[in-house]
Structure 1
Amino acid sequence: MRSCGVISLTTTARVALAGAVFAACLAAPVSSAAARPHLREATEINNGLFAVAIAREIKDYCPTINARYFRAFNFLSSLKRKARDMGYSDAEIEAYVDNDEEKARLRARGEAYLAAKGVSYDDPQSFCALGREEIQKSSQIGVLLRAK
């Protein structure tokens, strides 16, 4: 009797085949997560989050500059899509964004940037000057802001 496309194997052949499949599975990457770097190493994502954080700080401290909320929402959504396209799950993305150590790292980077640009928390006008400069340059920070 002929089986439709099913190969009849002896027990020894089945064990050998199972061993080969097992060995091939061990040699292959366990998952795509193993090949992905941590999200903190995703430069495009981190630079985008940095731009949003700086724009928000400028908006919060400068009385004459406002956020472009719709544009900021769309930009954050695009960052999330890029992270998903890189293979990160929504849970991984949320865990990264909510991580206190990552927030502290981003804050330290932001404070260093602001200090290098001559911005002082004691002088709201210094935030305004930086905001106007970023708007004028049409930088990623600047496109998230608008003068009142």
Structure 2
Amino acid sequence: MTKIWPVFLIAATLAMGPALAEGKVPLPQEAHINDQLIAAAAGDILRHTCPTLEARTFVVLTKLAQLKSYTRAQGYDEAEVKLFLKDKAQKARIKASAKAYLSAAGALPDNPDSYCAAGEAEIAKGTQVGSLLRSTK
């Protein structure tokens, strides 16, 4: 087991090398980008679980364009962003964070009504997640 750590550290350093050399935070550690992706994932979970919640498509597309602009302004190129977004481990991490956020907001597994209540609360509070949703009630 101890032999794995040096290999892991070398691999991690090499993977982050270009970003660190350019003074950029590695994408998995960039707070604004990750917060936006977690909010989008939480909104997606809510709208797929609760039949009375829908995506505010125009808002979602606008936020996507803003996030693309932000990533470019931070110096990330399209190829590294795509690589990050397609990475299975990163997708799983973001989805797990979204589920944890929703759980803390009162969404219970196998209880769609709790997802509806959590989504309605997010909308009422005007949170990042709530801004992506609309209620059909």
Q: How does the TM-score come out when normalised to structure 1?
A: 0.75
1:146 aligns with 2:134: yes
Task: Map 1:96-107 onto structure 2 (within 5 A).
Answer: 96-107=84-95
Give the direction of change, closer, same or farther, for the CA distance of 1:35–1:128 in structure 2 (3 Å limit).
same
1:111 match: 99
| Bigger helix share | 2
Secondary structure of 1:146 counterpart: strand
Alignment of 1:1-148 (within 5 A): 33-148=21-136
Q: RMSD of the alignment, in Å?
A: 1.7
CA distance in 1, matches of 2:70, 2:31: 11
CA contact (8 A) 2:20 2:26 kept: no
Q: Distance in 2 between matches of 1:31 and 1:122?
A: 41
2-side partners of 1:131 and 1:101: how far apart?
A: 26
Give the whole-Å Cα distance in 1 for the aligned partners of 2:38 and 2:19.
29
Percent identity reads 37
How far apart are 1:87 and its partner, in Å?
0.4
Q: List 4+ stretches of structure 1 deviating above 4 A.
A: 30-33
Residue type of the alignment partner of 1:101: A
Structure 2 residues not aligned, in runs of 5+: 1-17
Larger Rg computed on CA atoms: 1
- 1:107, distance to aligned residue in structure 2 (A): 1.6
Q: Deviations over 1:5-40 (max 9, x none)?
A: xxxxxxxxxxxxxxxxxxxxxxxxx99853111111
- Relative to structure 1, the CA distance from residue 91 to residue 115 in structure 2 (aligned partners, 3 Å threshold; closer, same or farther) is same
Q: Structure 1 unaligned segments of length 5 or more: list them.
A: 1-29
Deviates more, 1:45-54 or 1:113-122: 113-122
Give the letter for the 1:36 counterpart.
Answer: K
Question: Could you tell me which amino acid in structure 1 is paired with residue 66 of structure 2?
Answer: S
Matched letter for residue 29 of structure 2: E
Q: Is the 8 A contact 1:32 1:87 kept in 2?
A: no
Amino acid aligned to 2:54: N
